[in-house]
Amino acid sequence: MGKFNVLNAKGVSRRDFMKLMAVTTAAFGLPATVAPQAAKAVGEALEKPPVIWLSGMECTGCTTSTISTIKPSAADLILDKLSIRYHEVIMAGTGDVAEEAYAETLKEAAGKYILIVEGSVPPDASKDDYCIVAGKPFRETVLEAAAQAKAVVAVGSCACDGAGIPGASEITQAIGVRDLLKNNGIATPVINLPCCPVKSQTVIGTLTYFLTYGEVPPLDSQGRPLAYYGMLLHDNCPRRGRFENGEFLKDWNDPAQKDYCLLLKGCKGPKTYTDCASVWFNDNANFCLNAGSPCSGCSETGFYAKFNPLYVKNDDFHVPGVVGQVSPDLIGAGVGVVAAGYLAFSTVGNIARGRIGKKSKEHGGDK
Ligand code: SF4
C-alpha cells in the first residue's frame, strides 16, 4: 500500500497532508519547494522511526494537546507513523510488557530513536523520591534514554527548564532536560518546545523538520526553534492597537473594555516570545489573549514561579526598550505618551536586534 493510500485509510487526505507540510515548511521560513521533500520525509516515516515518550513531573496536558487537535490528527501522523514505542498514557501495554517495550527499543534502536520528554526531572539522587516510574527513578531513566537517543525533544514548560508547576515551589527543585543532560555530561542535542501546554503544530513541525533535514532546526539561546519562538507576542497581539491608543482594561465587568489591552491585568506579552498570536491552540480554536486572558509568559524560562501572580498587574513592570521601570499606573495615566515612547524604542530595538529588516538569527527573550 502506497503511503498516501495508508494515510487515506486513516482518514487523512493527500490534500490535508500536503497542506500540513506547506504550513510546516512555511513556519520555518523554508521555500515552498521544500514541502514535497518534507512530505516525502514524513511519508518515509511510515517505516516508523522509533520514538520513546517519557513522562515525568507533569500533568499530561502536553500529551493531550499534541494528540487531540490537528487535522490531519497528530495521532495519525505522530502516534502511528512515528511508531511511539513507549508512552505511558497512550500505549496499550502495561506493567512488565510496557517496560520490556522500552528496554527493547533502547537495545534495538540505539542511536536512531527520538526521545520526547514531557515533565520536569528531579535534579539529583537526593530528590529522586519525587518521581519514580516503574520502580525506577525517572531521572535515571531520562539519562539512560537520552544518552543513546538521536535527539531529545523537551515538550512543555516543565520539561524545558523545570520551572513549570511541579517546580514552582522550592520543594522538588525540579530541573529541565537540557540542564540534566548538561550536568551529567551528555551531549545529545535537546530541542526545547515550551508553553503550557505545547501546541501540536509545534511538535509536529519540529519533528518534520528533523526528519526532513536530519538536524535540529535553528534555535535561540533557550533552545527553542526560532520558527515558533522567534517573535514577540506583543508585536503581533490583536489588542496591540488598544495598547497604542492607551486603552487598558481596568474593570473586567465593563463590556466596553473587553477588547482593551491587558497589560494592567498582568499581561506578559511584552516579554514573551511565542507564535501564539498566529498559531492557536486546539486546532486553531483560540489562544489566551483572544479568550480574554492575559498572557502568562508560559513560553519563557522561569514560568510559573517567576511570573506569578498571573492575573494582577506587575508592580514596576519592565517595558522592553524603555530604560528603567515603568509602573502600570503610570502607563494607565499617561497612556498615549508612554505607548508611543515604547513603540519608538521597540522599533529601534527591533531593528538593532535584526527583528525588523532582516531575519533574526538568535535571541534569548527579553526579560
Ligand atoms: Fe497584547 Fe498584552 Fe501587549 Fe496588551 S500588553 S498589546 S494585551 S500582548
d(CA 251, CA 256): 9
Q: Check pLDDT > 80 for residue 294.
A: yes
232: Cβ below 6 Å to ligand 1? no
pLDDT at 70: 58
Higher pLDDT, 219 or 43: 219
pLDDT at 312: 79
What pLDDT digit, counting tens, does each position of 242-263 carry?
A: 999 999 999 999 999 999 999 9
pLDDT band at residue 338, thresholds of 50, 70 and 90? Answer: very low
Closest to 82 in 3D by CA, of 58, 109, 118, 62:
109
pLDDT at 316: 55
The CA distances from residue 49 to 21, 155, 338, in Å, are: 18, 18, 52
Q: What is the mean pLDDT of the chain?
A: 79
Among 235, 259, 295, 331, residue to substitute to test ligand 1 (most atoms within 8 Å of Cβ): 295
What pLDDT digit, counting tens, does each position of 346-362 carry?
A: 333 333 333 333 333 33
260: Cβ below 6 Å to ligand 1? no
d(CA 229, CA 363): 9
pLDDT at 321: 44
Estimate to the nearest angstrom the gap between the alpha carbon of 121 and the chain centroid: 17
d(CA 309, CA 305): 8
Q: Check pLDDT > 80 for residue 78.
A: no
In this predicted structure, which of 89-103, 199-213, 222-236, 324-338 has the lowest mean pLDDT?
A: 324-338
What pLDDT digit, counting tens, does each position of 313-334 carry?
A: 765 555 544 433 444 444 544 4
pLDDT at 17: 59
pLDDT band at residue 307, thresholds of 50, 70 and 90? Answer: confident
Cell of 216: 535540529
pLDDT band at residue 7, thresholds of 50, 70 and 90? Answer: very low
pLDDT band at residue 16, thresholds of 50, 70 and 90? Answer: low
CB 259 within 8 A of CB 280: no
CATH topology of domain 4-217: Rossmann fold (3.40.50)
Max mean pLDDT among 24-38, 259-273, 339-353 falls in: 259-273
264: Cβ below 6 Å to ligand 1? no
Phi, psi of 104 (to 5 degrees): -65, -40
Q: Check pLDDT > 90 for residue 202.
A: yes
What is the DSSP code string of 233-279?
A: HHHH-TTHHHHHHT-B---TT-GGGTTSB-GGGT--GGG-B-STTTS
Phi, psi of 121 (to 5 degrees): -130, 140
Question: Strand 114-118 and strand 51-55: pairing?
Answer: parallel
Higher pLDDT, 10 or 210: 210
Give the pTM: 0.77
CB 287 within 8 A of CB 297: no
CB 44 within 8 A of CB 175: no
pLDDT at 363: 44
335: Cβ below 6 Å to ligand 1? no
Closest to 154 in 3D by CA, of 301, 310, 48, 305:
301
Closest to 156 in 3D by CA, of 206, 120, 185:
120
d(CA 66, CA 202): 9
268: Cβ below 6 Å to ligand 1? no
In this predicted structure, which of 103-107, 209-213, 277-281 has the lowest mean pLDDT?
A: 209-213
The mean pLDDT value for 135-148 works out to: 97
pLDDT at 75: 60
Domain boundaries along the sequence of the chain: 4-217, 233-367
Q: Check pLDDT > 70 for residue 171.
A: yes
CB 295 within 8 A of CB 233: yes
The CATH architecture that domain 233-367 belongs to is Irregular (4.10)
262: Cβ below 6 Å to ligand 1? yes
Among 233, 236, 243, 265, residue to substitute to test ligand 1 (most atoms within 8 Å of Cβ): 243
The residues, any chain, with a CB within 8 Å of residue 138's CB and separated by 6 or more, are 54, 56, 57, 119, 121, 122, 128, 131, 132
d(CA 357, CA 359): 7
CB 151 within 8 A of CB 192: no
Q: Which atom of ligand 1 is nearest to the CA of 269?
A: 8
The burial of 9, by beta-carbon neighbours within 10 Å (0-12 exposed, 13-18 middle, 19 or more buried), is given as exposed
pLDDT at 187: 97
